[in-house]
Structure 1
Amino acid sequence: MTPLLEVRNLSVAYGAIEAVRDVSFVVEPGQIVSLIGANGAGKTTTLRTISGLLRPRSGEILFKGKPIHKQPAHETLANGIAHCPEGRRLFGRMTVEENLQLGAYVRRDTGVEADMKRVYDLFPVLGERRHNKAGLFSGGEQQMLAIGRAMMSKPTLLMLDEPSMGLSPIMTQRIFDTIKELQAAGTTILLVEQNALAALALSDHGYVVDLGTTTLDGPGHDLLANEGVRAAYLGEG
């Protein structure tokens, strides 16, 4: 079976500074796959390159077997990859509903209203406050809206960058429960997450990214049991 997403020997630089070098991984349909590693390891850069916001220096990115690393971001989104970025990046002066409508801007089908209702069913607080400005929401509510906005493009692959950042433990658990719900509904997830323990426990497969390179991979539960991973990223050892 062809992987949904395949990243081959990806290298990305900011000027003379190489942020990612020789990163490779695959995401199979229906999986939750996590990228873990220290701050500055190149995880966010990898997601930004997959989504078309950055161009690789070398390597390939294949989606459904076809190369996408030279196409612009709006085409990547239209082809089925949505990116929920670190820091949420909402339009704070716009309402919940307006943010969600912007998430669907590449669509030309008639199912937008039904998918907006699905977001409100998933996150009832957004439905209750649909006419409120996004900038007035708490961090957890903004994260719900950011995920909902990404889902409005009806993605096959949803990339989430640090969805628990700055959230309380209760809200973090709610976000992770939602990620499992999205997987159960048929969405494939690529997850970058500072909480490596929670990410690996949630994931079908995980990859360790160190200094811009993938150094280790395996099923999430296997990486959880790996002594080196536990010492380096889970605060043990």
Structure 2
Amino acid sequence: MTEPTHDEAHGAALGSRLNWLRAAVLGANDGIVSTAGLVVGVAGATQERAALLTAGLAGLLAGSLSMAAGEYVSVSTQRDSEKAALAAEKQELREKPEAELAELTGMLQARGLSREVAREAAEQLTERDALKAHARVELGIDPDALADPWHAAWASFAAFTVGALLPLLAIVLPPAHWRLPVTVVSVLAALVLTGWASARLGAAAPGRAVLRNVVGGAVAMAVTYAVGTLLGVAGA
């Protein structure tokens, strides 16, 4: 069996980039919806720019830090699991190499190779890098590209922040009587874009994704605005 071709390596890299792009789009979408719901809810209770700015900034920081922390913990757990699996595989290769060679041969056979070709391929892969061969074929892990929790955390922080800035700026920059309509229109337009982008990156039809996105965002803003209005009236 030969080393992966340039096209195969390029395909793997492209898949990884697409996964990051999808995560970035979804993170931005979360920032848009959660911050829009927050500032629109506050706008239902008060039109004071300082209150809207304070609420929006608090929501942006809390959301982005929460996303970053959650992603860091999640990816750290994944990385720890991958490292533990690699350590166990390394020990098995050291203690029972023949059994591991037979196991690799069987897995290659299961992928459609004949017994003879699978055995030869397993032997060649084992000679080059036994751990890497078992990690990729048996565990589905690339030892040279383990998940990076800091990368994931910063990416989530940035994506959420970018998304949250749109409703925050839309609610504080226009004159008082334009704040709500500008925010609603801007948010719905952004949700159309993120819904379309997530669908295209996932090779799915964009219609339903856009509709789900827009309806979800609209409902979130309507509910929080109604609650904010009720609280504003009650507190008056």
With structure 1 as the length reference, what TM-score do the two structures score? 0.28
Q: More relative contact order in 1 or in 2 (CA 8 Å, sep 6+)?
A: 2
With structure 2 as the length reference, what TM-score do the two structures score? 0.28
Compare the two structures and name the one with the higher strand fraction: 1
Structure exhibiting the larger radius of gyration computed from Cα positions: 2
Compare the two structures and name the one with the higher helix fraction: 2
